[in-house]
Structure 1
Amino acid sequence: MNPEQWVEAVEGVMEAHRNAKNAPDIIRYFRNQFGSFGLKNEDRRKLTKQFIVATKQFSQKELVETIELLWSRCEREFQHTGMELIDHHRKKFDRSIKKVLQYMISHKSWWDTVDFIASHTVGHTFKTNQLRQEDLYEWNESDDLWLIRTSILAQLKYKSYTDWALLQELIIPHLDHKDFFIRKAIGWALREYSKTEPNLVLDFVENHTMSGLSQREALKIVNAGKMK
């Protein structure tokens, strides 16, 4: 089975399980930017699990071709399947993974795919040196807000392994950013790290000017602890 046949097979099974009742609500949820088969995530995963397993022998080139085909499709379930496909095969890639991840982040961009890619695949491949600090800095300096958001969220699940100095360097240039998704990412990244180092996060917030949204998000856990 080649990439085109694989995508057609995935399309066939999702089409067979299309939920016309759910689709309009999902499309509205994504602000009418994408189509939808009306499938809930858990249902889509059950339907596509066997197909992802079937890509075991796919080469890097075939995986990249598959991603491009999935990203060319209208329904959002294709991109959700693609992000999980690459995460499943992330160990097959070397430094070349940057190009495909950047493509996925920068095309048909919205928080649902970007946040998964950032916190899962980017997070994992940064740990294994498939992605490097220079890549996060490059994305952080981009004009693409989704690449900026990804650079900030890359260490989201790192807990005590978070490079605090790096996280600050990625956040500080964007403290006055006007976009909701960047402000939210700053607060989210700080909030997650506050679970590990609340005093460092509190000190950072007290010593830097940032949006109210970023500050509220950053201190949610810290402030909740103070109220106990």
Structure 2
Amino acid sequence: MQLNAIEQHLYSLADEKVAQQTARFFKTNTGGYAANDRFLGIPVPKLRQQIRVASALELDDIAALLASQWHEIRLFAVLLLVQRFANGDESLRTKIYQFYVQNSCQINSWDLVDSSAHKIVGVYLLKRDRAILYQLAKQDCLWQRRIAMVSCWSFIGQHDYNDALNIAQYLLGDREDLLHKAVGWMLREVGKGDLNRLLEFIEAHSNAMSRTTLRYALEKVAEPLRTELLQRDPKRIRKF
């Protein structure tokens, strides 16, 4: 199917009731991070099932999908990139990685980032220089900063924690709650593999951590240690 046909096919799957529920979940209220987002109401499993109809799309077509006003169409584009990257040869993976980074501010919701960053950027950089992540972490675009953090999940899975901890440290002072959560999440993943590294990080940086980050980071730490760390010297923990 060609681009226009695929878009029409996705529109045909819309469900207004699901769209209303999804809009409430994604904070589309005025001032919310998804204030200008619009939803068709297509469940993610159904969206994944449609990937097979998009085999003819070029990267330029996927760029057009990423520019859509509809959340699910942008998510469809991201899922398509993930699928093609996973099945691609080295040349195709490089093109998709470069495309993803160039269009990274269009990966503009936490679910788009979280379903793709580690699977494309993280995997691509496993054995490559990771300077791009530090560049993304410094960008004004919230989603680029979240991509920098979540991409590290692939490294963490290989027991390679340094970049995750470095980027987490850099982002501790971020004002966005969605970054507090992402940082805490990646710290939690570090702790699953090496609890001591997590505890050392918290000991060194707890005075710069939001309560949200700390709670996320300690979610899998066993009691009573978790409660002890959450209650220890609460005045040192930054509140946002």
What TM-score bracket applies, with the shorter chain setting the length? Answer: 0.7 to 0.9
CA distance in structure 2 between the partners assigned to 1:97 and 1:50 by the alignment: 18
Equivalent positions of 1:1-228 (< 5 A) are 6-30=2-26, 31=28, 32-46=35-49, 48-52=50-54, 54-55=55-56, 62-63=58-59, 65-90=60-85, 91=88, 92-93=91-92, 95-107=94-106, 109-127=108-126, 129=128, 132-208=129-205, 209=207, 210-224=209-223, 226=225
TM-score, normalisation: structure 2:
0.79
CA shift at 1:104, angstroms?
3.9
Q: 1:224 to 1:152 in 2, by over 3 A?
A: farther
Gaps of 5+ in 1: none
What SS does the aligned partner of 2:116 have?
helix
Q: 1:15 to 1:174 in 2, by over 3 A?
A: closer
Q: Does structure 2 retain, via aligned residues, the 8 Å contact 1:27–1:33?
A: no
CA distance in structure 2 between the partners assigned to 1:213 and 1:182 by the alignment: 10
Quote the RMSD (CA, aligned, Å): 2.3
Number of aligned residue pairs: 213
CA distance in structure 1 between the partners assigned to 2:221 and 2:17 by the alignment: 42
Q: Does structure 1 retain, via aligned residues, the 8 Å contact 2:165–2:187?
A: no
CA distance in structure 1 between the partners assigned to 2:223 and 2:9 by the alignment: 46
Q: Does structure 1 retain, via aligned residues, the 8 Å contact 2:136–2:144?
A: yes
CA shift at 1:218, angstroms?
0.8
1:107-145 deviations in Å (ceiling 9; x for gaps): 26111111222222222222254xx31111211222222
Q: Which moved more, 1:141-150 or 1:218-227?
A: 218-227
Gaps of 5+ in 2: 29-34, 227-240
What SS does the aligned partner of 1:143 have?
coil
CA shift at 1:223, angstroms?
3.6
Q: Does structure 1 retain, via aligned residues, the 8 Å contact 2:37–2:69?
A: yes
What SS does the aligned partner of 1:207 have?
helix
